[in-house]
Structure 1
């Protein structure tokens, strides 16, 4: 994210005054104990984050950056403990400097202070794991596996990420539950629309085709899309209190439809439909109708028959005779069910034919009521 060009440290940790020109290169620090190697790491972390992780957390005994960040000779003058770092930001192809003092660690001076540069340093400040000392690395290595995993997760802030993931999962489940009834309502609405338009599915193409067939009858122009356009677009509505205007094309279409449907009802085809329906109705056996609900009982009686005794009435009877009697009753019931289904179908067809003339007839009647002398 950044490359260090130069770091200048004054009165910070064990360093009095040091300037390192790194020129964007990788570097290693070596030397005897107590010569300030860790101080360089602390200075880099402090410049980027405003804190020193080695002085915070468990086991630090209340040590603070403000009290222990300055050099021992400047404990009372934390404003003199300053770290200034010049960096190169490859993503922006820009150079920048950041300067912090221990006295005012939370308010660094960043040049240039453009939004893109400030955003880079803000993101760096959120990740103290970018600077780890040898001691911290060794601590992670020597820690118990479970504790090490937790410490690493905390260091990388993965625990916060896990909390966020859990919240998002919870929100996703809540949304899924909320959407389910809406989808069910949408499905039922689609089924109702399909039935009303006489189509197999509420697909856009089928809805348009069905709607345009009715619009053609009404003398309206066809629709090309459904985007927020009412299917009845183009049909004039009357202002409140005014007489309804007669749509001539609609009235003529309804009149022609009434003539056609009346002719059909008076014709041979509809007459034969009525005859077939009457014949089916006359053949229905009322006793079979009463016995429809007994089919399950008859089936069970046949299954539990034993010892030549009727399981329903305790009358002695041989199995074959009993079986023939039960099967005859069940055949009669099944024949009734088939006849009833066919009769229902015929009645629906008759009803549809009558409705086909009643709908336009009501329209004509409504138009007639609104005609003025």
Structure 2
């Protein structure tokens, strides 16, 4: 037996001080105007299972702690209690504690804790209007790919870091060869030419050559015998320092590389964080407000707007936040290269520091060297943080630190050279010392080349492995995700065909295009695949989003019977809403559905479908009639429109009865016009006056009906309705004030409207009758109606 919610108790939560709802394991239909608390109830259900409230996520200034509790309550006051059948299992969620499900509920909660049982209007748009990466995230939440996506991203980062290290070692290898070329004055292609180039230089200087770098120590000692100065050891150190520091510590290319790196960081931070949290959130709020509320005026300046054009322009602006994964990958590689180069700078500074420590004449430089080393290490940390997109680099500070370190490096060279030049050595001794220093410098750089080559091989081998692992994992994941997409595309197309049986747009596909990105395509009129946003209306797009969500739920939420649709049919027309009702009843009758709406037509269509399918007993139809800060939502079991109007009449509330009957009449006229294929002048807003609907419907029925009992009954009802004073005013003014009419006049109007409803209803099941041109009949459209109404037409 499937798990179903028996009761819900909400305390101190988002507009609800205390509320009890008892579905008793049945489906729930919640109707109420905006601001009556429907979404708060859905938020409470989501919070119970997930500990989160989706509408608060990612919005600057909003948080669960601050905006979760009802006004004048604290987070610790929040308590959501639910009872589940079978077994009447009662569980609680508070701000700080999660429910602990019994074994029998484990599978149900495992799905529900992901929050993938709810579809809101804002989430509906994510399936259609979001960029491929955001669409993939929405789908990944449903099918449970988050952990795999995190693994893939980690593998990508490791690969990028190894690539950066490898590239840095390659650059260092080439730089060392260049430095040896400068020392020897010879062009060196690779490390195999170093000994030859060094010996050619030694021959030019009139010195003995060496066979290998293993002989350097002995060779230098032999040369030193030609130097008679007693401070030869100190002189050698000065010579080594001079030789090392005469080459600048860094060049302008390195600074330019860091500046470019920071520019990319700044771009990413600006687009993905600042704009996302400010401009994007504002645009999304505006888009959702204009779309959901069907506004034709700007909510800020109250000027008229072209709603569809404005929504299109907003979407275009939102699309300026581009897919930046390649830039992020490049940044990670660059950061590794910069950090490796900074580590080399520290190594060079440490080598010089150890030598200076042996020279009392340079003691003043030792302390400053330690500060320079500390500064470079701090720069490495700044680069690491920037590569994680936590902040920009303070580029002016980095440039200043590196330039200061370079200047200090050159100061060491100049001071060492000055002292060295003051030492009394003859030309032969200086020549010998220069040769010894040259040999030592070339050996050190050759040793660095050999070490670097080993490091290069180390990083390259690991990069090749990491790239292979990443690409294999990524391609396998991509293929498996595509398999999942392929497995549900049949149901997506089937559901869409149910809603749009005569639509020429076919072959709806979800395609994995690259890491964590999903494209949505469909074929128009047997042409090439295109983005559906370029092909179909806003209402069709919304219905497509519903189909995608329902297909994923059907595939992946097998063990969770809960399905919530929160105000998702705003832009969908009446005919296709009715199709959604049928889809839910036919395909999801084993789920516990909770549907909220502020749209009375959709509410009535759902109730009509309940009657048509004989499922009214498995539904709780609830209206939210009011809301107050002190009491929260006021809920009531549904009463039919006519019953509510009768109550108002019995209470002598003629204004309320007249207003309710006017809306009642509008609803009847819309449904009857739709079902009889009445030609009504199209209005973009979808808002019609009674006169704009009544006269075309009356003319249409006069053309359809044959003489007979039904036509006589229909004509009497129309005549009675038109003869009421209230209706006469309604046709001429659209919005008459009921206070201008007597109680009996209002009552006559109300009863006439109800009679009109009965004329267009099947007497057996209560569904609106429908015109079938092929049959030339008005008949009940309910296939389950045992005695369907039938009336022949012209």
Pick the TM interval, shorter chain: 0.3 to 0.5
Q: Which has the larger radius of gyration?
A: 1
Q: TM-score, normalised by structure 1?
A: 0.37
Q: TM-score, normalised by structure 2?
A: 0.18
